[in-house]
Amino acid sequence: MSDPKKSDHTNISYRPALTVMDRMRCVYLRGIVFGAEQNCPVHIDLDEYEETARHFLAQDGEAYCAAARWRVYKPGVAKLERVVVHPDWRKKGVGHGIMRAMMDDVKTTMPDCKTIRLGAQDYAIPFYEALGFKVVGDGFLDETNIPHHWMEKAA
């Protein structure tokens, strides 16, 4: 695995996670963030959309440093979900990079999309606002009692 402290982070690639191994890498990264850091049980993180969502990975050399997914939420609406950045790669633009890659993919693969939606953990609202998302509606607690808000932007 690459050492993130020695990387200049200019060679990070963002791509769909198309193989079984790639999908396992996504689950592994989610386990680090949602499981270990946020104490989210695996049975809540892994859901009925694992097989139908379009998963993405960020890679820095040999190291996988971020994962996320998106899916069709309802006609004309895409939902971005499960966005995680490995702790060693935070504050380096990797999160914005994987979000941009997914939003570009939404435009390409879902041309009828009018709205992109996500459920943001409250602490991450400024991160998503920097990408053009706006808070919509009241806040809510997810299944693990973490405060969230729905956010949306035009596709």
Q: Which domains does the chain have, with CATH numbers?
A: 12-154 (3.40.630.30)
Task: Write down the pTM of the prediction.
Answer: 0.91
Q: What is the mean pLDDT of residues 38-62?
A: 93
What residues does 43 pair with on adjacent strands? none
pLDDT surpassing 90 at residue 107: yes
Residues 82, 33 contacting (CB under 8 angstroms): no
Q: What is the mean pLDDT of residues 60-78?
A: 97
**Pair of tokens at residue 54:** 């379009």
Per residue in 86-102, pLDDT (tens digit) is 999 999 999 999 999 99
Q: What is the mean pLDDT of residues 11-28?
A: 96
The residue with tokens 């409250």 is 122
Alpha-carbon torsion 99, 103, 108, 112, what sign? positive
Percent of the chain with pLDDT over 90: 86
Whole-angstrom distance, CA of residue 3 vs CA of residue 63: 8
